[in-house]
Structure 1
Amino acid sequence: MKLDPFYLIVDSAAWIERLVPLGVRLVQLRVKHMGQAGLRAEIRRAKTLCARNNCQLIINDYWRLAIEEGCDFVHLGQDDMQLADLSQIRAAGIRLGLSTHDHFELMTAMAADPDYIALGPIYPTILKKMKWAPQGLERVRTWKGRVAPIPLVAIGGLNPERLDGVFEAGADSAAVVTDITLNCDPEGRTREWIEKTRPWR
């Protein structure tokens, strides 16, 4: 399986409507602190928008809703993976991405036969408080050697200036959140990411 090298992560279908039509081909809907009805509506809207724009949608965490709404890709963190019914996810034909931060988590994730492995944070990040220090490019190389041929997603503190180093270290896809959503020109920054990742497609 091949992932697009530009992996956008947003917290609402409104962001998907705003940015995906610019040429985004891979997006994760990562919604926190919302009721079931609201989540379902967000997933439905995101799914419609992504289908319209030939973009792969990945649902973060809410695997039951993803199954019910006919989505085909889910991302789970380590805690969520322990609570999820992976056999049910697979039986529904859903592909699976998993987060990792250390060697033990990588072993746990690989045992689940995922469709991609994410590693982070590569650089310092403001997205959330992390108990892990920045992983750095050498860890990207190590992880790639251990997970290949499974695609490796790098996340955390990435920006267009850091992308060449991340890809040269072995990452197949670079995930971004705040470098775009907190930018004063999210559309312009998205276009910059698309252009910068084009050689890696």
Structure 2
Amino acid sequence: MPYPDKFYPVVHNVAWVTRLALLGAGTIQLRAKDLNESQALQIVTDALDAIKGTEAKLVVNDYWRAAIVAGAKHLHLGQEDLADADLSEIRKAGLTLGISTHDDEELAIALAAKPDYIALGPIFPTTLKSMRFAPQGIPKITEWKKRIGDIPLVAIGGIKFEQSAEIFAAGADSIAVVSDVTQHADPDARVRQWLGQSAEAA
């Protein structure tokens, strides 16, 4: 299986991780904010337990120490967290590493860390968190993909299923999805839509 999968949901608690894993999502990011070390270790351990027996791969956002201790295999870091992380420890633990980027400087920093994938965002305006960066737009995906070559490119930020074909056509290898699942009126049906699209695009 490619990593990350074409459909890459990002959720904030174990209940969502469980729900997505049972629906057949292949890559699921757990992005829980403002936890202390023991809380982070607990939620990562619980999420890893939740995906046992499924095809899902859990990506831990930011809490790299908890990811190592809990035995996770996949990690995603934002730029601030990347600056504070011990990359040699992360690599020694065998974790894959995805990194967020928003501009040329951040892309250079990310590439220096030899990541397993690069995330570019926000593609569209997003309501979920206040962004320091203006929407990137779809043409930026094509430009970024040319620059990073074989490294998988994940598009994130305000993307809905209806835009997915255009995003993939622009060069994205994967689409990270937040509100289009978690705030959808029928999340399960929406996930099945995304998974069906991903199968067609594979």
- Give me the TM-score of the superposition, normalised by structure 2: 0.96
Q: How does 1:132-151 map to 2 (within 5 A)?
A: 132-151=133-152
Query: What is the letter of the counterpart of residue 135 of structure 2?
Result: P
Q: Highest relative contact order (Cα 8 Å, sep 6+), 1 or 2?
A: 1
**1:200, distance to aligned residue in structure 2 (A):** 1.8
Q: Is the 8 A contact 2:121 2:157 kept in 1?
A: yes
Q: How does 1:106-185 map to 2 (within 5 A)?
A: 106-185=107-186
Give the match for residue 5 of structure 2: 4
Q: Is the 8 A contact 1:109 1:117 kept in 2?
A: yes
Note the residue ranges of structure 1 that are not aligned, 5 or more in a row: none
In 2, Cα distance between equivalents of 1:199 and 1:146: 26
Identity of aligned residues (%): 47
Query: What is the letter of the counterpart of residue 173 of structure 1?
Result: S
Q: Is the 8 A contact 1:25 1:54 kept in 2?
A: yes
Note the residue ranges of structure 2 that are not aligned, 5 or more in a row: none
Q: Is the 8 A contact 2:4 2:174 kept in 1?
A: yes
In 1, Cα distance between equivalents of 2:180 and 2:141: 20
Q: How does 1:13-162 map to 2 (within 5 A)?
A: 13-162=14-163
Q: Is the 8 A contact 2:20 2:28 kept in 1?
A: no
Q: Secondary structure at the match of 1:52?
A: coil
- Give me the TM-score of the superposition, normalised by structure 1: 0.96
Q: How many residues align?
A: 201
Q: Deviations over 1:31-79 (max 9, x none)?
A: 1123333322221121122232111110000000100111111100001
Which piece of structure 1 moves more, 27-36 or 88-97?
27-36
Q: Secondary structure at the match of 2:9?
A: strand
Q: Secondary structure at the match of 2:135?
A: coil
